[in-house]
Amino acid sequence: MNPLYYQAKFLSSNPSLITAPKDSGWEIAFAGRSNAGKSSAINRITKQKSLARTSKTPGRTQQLVFFQIDPQRRLVDLPGYGYAKVSQNIKQQWQIHMSDYLQQRQALQGLILLMDSRHPLTELDWQLIDWLQQAQLKTHILLTKADKLKSGKAKMIQQQVQQQLNDYSEFSCQLFSAHRCIGVEQAHNVLDHWFELGHNGQDNKKNPDNIGDDCQG
Ligand SMILES: Nc1nc2c(ncn2[C@@H]2O[C@H](COP(=O)(O)OP(=O)(O)OP(=O)(O)O)[C@@H](O)[C@H]2O)c(=O)[nH]1
Ligand SMILES: [Mg+2]
């Protein structure tokens, strides 16, 4: 685990890119369907209970929310997509802000794509994946809420998702649970690699591939 993430601080919440923090340094964004567990994952990764706002009700995160790790590095919680109960107009606004962000943000290093492990690869997920592939943006998939599945079933789903993405480059995939601390170290390792950080928060070019799944210590 990299303790640097534990010092993450809320930076700003912005309805659009116009008021977002200066586009410099490095950012990693969290995207996925509403209720997939984006905000919970950010809280687990940063070991903070309520850094990002979570909710049982889909559609909680409605803005681009920036968290600072250090002066050069940020995590970004994006509004979820696919939430049926918001008006068409609001949906379109969210989509515009999300796609503006993905298309225009120079600081963006890679995307963490979250999908509920019980319902992965929905039509909207595929639309985003196809777009990411064209944009050649590095993508790491967290199959969330893995605690809701038996471990054999969860592993099978992970393999199936991996197989379906075999022809896509720059994609990787893992199981994750914010509630049960599954896959947190593996997620840290991906962030470290994209942020070019060592385990103790020092800048470092190496890619640690140690896979862990607990939050002790
Ligand atoms: N069982 C279980 N539930 C989870 C997990 N992660 C998130 N949840 C629950 O899923 C719901 C949605 O979580 P959020 O983190 O708010 O999801 P989100 O993707 O940020 O949602 P929006 O902001 O609405 O797009 C909440 O009730 C969480 O408690 C997990 O690992 N396991
Ligand atoms: Mg959220």
Phi/psi for 10 (5° steps) reads -65, 135
CA distances 72 to 21, 28, 67, 94, 107, Å, are 11, 12, 11, 26, 10
Tell whether the model's pLDDT for residue 211 goes beyond 50.
no
pLDDT value of residue 142: 98
Q: Crossing angle for the helix pair 38-45 and 184-195, nearest 10 degrees?
A: 80
Q: d(Cα 94, Cα 81) in Å, to the nearest integer?
A: 8
In this prediction, residue 14 has a pLDDT band, given cuts at 50, 70 and 90, of very high
Is the C-alpha dihedral spanning 186, 143, 60, 99 positive or negative?
positive
pLDDT single digits (tens) 179-200? 999 999 999 999 999 999 976 5
Residues having CB closer than 6 A to ligand 1 are 32, 34-40, 54-56, 58-61, 80, 144-145, 147-148, 177-179
87 vs 13, which has greater pLDDT? 13
Burial of 12 (0-12, 13-18, 19+ CB in 10 A): middle
Q: Which CATH superfamily is domain 3-195 in?
A: P-loop containing nucleotide triphosphate hydrolases (3.40.50.300)
For the CA of 37, the nearest ligand: 1
CA of 150 to the centre of ligand 1 (A): 19
Rg (CA), the chain: 16
Q: Is the pLDDT of residue 16 over 70?
A: yes
3-state secondary structure of 201: coil
Rounded to the nearest angstrom, the distance between the alpha carbon of 206 and the centre of ligand 1 is: 32
DSSP secondary structure letters along 84-100: TTS-HHHHHHHHHHHHH
- pLDDT per residue over 28-65, tens digit each? 999 999 999 999 999 999 999 999 998 887 777 778 99
Give residues whose Cβ lies within 5 Å of ion ligand 2: 38-39, 60-61
Any idea which residue has 């979250």 for tokens? Answer: 114
What would the two tokens of residue 112 be? 């963490």
Domain ranges for the chain: 3-195
User: Which pLDDT tens digit goes with each residue over 149-162?
Assistant: 999 999 999 999 99
Mean pLDDT of 12-24: 92
| pTM (2 d.p.) | 0.91
pLDDT at 163 over 90: yes
Please give the average per-residue pLDDT across 96-125, as a whole number.
93
Q: Which atom of ligand 1 is nearest to the CA of 182?
A: 31
